[in-house]
Chain A
Amino acid sequence: MNARKLISMVALLGLSFSIMAASVPEDKIDTLRLAPLNVEPTPPAMQQVINSDVKQVRNYPMQPPVIPHKIDGYQIDLKVNKCMQCHARTSTGHSQAPMVSVTHYMDRDNNFLADLSPRRYFCTQCHAPQLDAKLLVENDFVDIDHLIKATKPAKH
């Protein structure tokens, strides 16, 4: 009886020490929360997406192109895919939008399907409209073209 009490006391003590050791001073915590837990700060105003209808240059050949128009209220679910109203093969005549490329009709074994491949159905998984916002972190991506140019010995 007594021994058991002792053991559990020691265990509890150990536990509380380990918790104390784990706690870090407040200013050392990196958090996205800029207000105390119990305060709901007013979110910043939503920015408008770029709706310029001007296609953006892709940064690398496999990049899904960004969407150059707004997509507010465009429904993509089991019932309907609004994007395909303009981007389907048969729609490009009236919409003058680029057709989804042939990769969107391929399954994972590279078979060509008659219709949109299920893995490409939810367009906004890969394609996103853009904001004219300042970068949160600096981007040090270097285009492959520049890399090739930099490593090539100067010819003249």
Chain B
Amino acid sequence: MTARAESSSNDRPPRPSIAARTEFFERIRTEMGKTRGLFSARPAARPPRPAEAIETVQRQIAERWRETAQRFQREFERVGGVFHRAATIKDVPDVIGGIARERKASRVVTWNPAALGPDLGPDLVARGLCVDVVAGGNPGDVERARVRGVSAVADLGLTGVDVAIAETGTLVLRSGAGRPRSTSLLPPTHVAVFDPTALIESIAQLGLLLEAWHVPAPADGGWGGMITLITGPSRTADIELTLTRGVHGPKEVHAVFVEAPFRG
């Protein structure tokens, strides 16, 4: 509701009538009544304690993360991503500087340091890049407009990663304070930085995580309204099935994997 208070539209959004809703559900129940007992209904089992389960999984992966990281690299490259390795977070600005130089990129927009983990801004500026850092906390309309503007013209978007799925080479990013959706979407090059603590093996494990992230009902804790799974650069094959990259989202996605954990 708070979000709606900031709305620029002068009118309240339309509300459905209670009658429409009741009628809608009545019709469904009537039809369902006709089939009772005719079909098997084996409801899906939900993991009882997803948070604990995924914690165990991640602890196990942490012990043999090299294997998982290798698998991630293989799959990420298979879907057209570019994989980089860095020993520590201190080496990352050089990696990013290199990516930027090769692409003649000068303007960088980055998640807030609180969301990213480290503050890479000064080191990137020292490498001749023009860096826009988005605000954390709960800024107003002015910062929103600014971020939109700088993201639309940036050459490179720098984000963290909440989870990296080895099986599919997928980066999972949650939106929230200091972590706009558009940083990984509008610039032609997306660079994502993460460490072994982000690794999971499979889509099945992602299921556990998604359960864990929502149980108990999310205390909003700075999390936003979107979770994005990114598996390679934006692509289309809509013209004569010719694979073309970067139709709407980034043409390039880079994963910078930092071997020494830098997140809490």
Does B associate with A? no
Give A contacts to B, CB under 8 Å. none
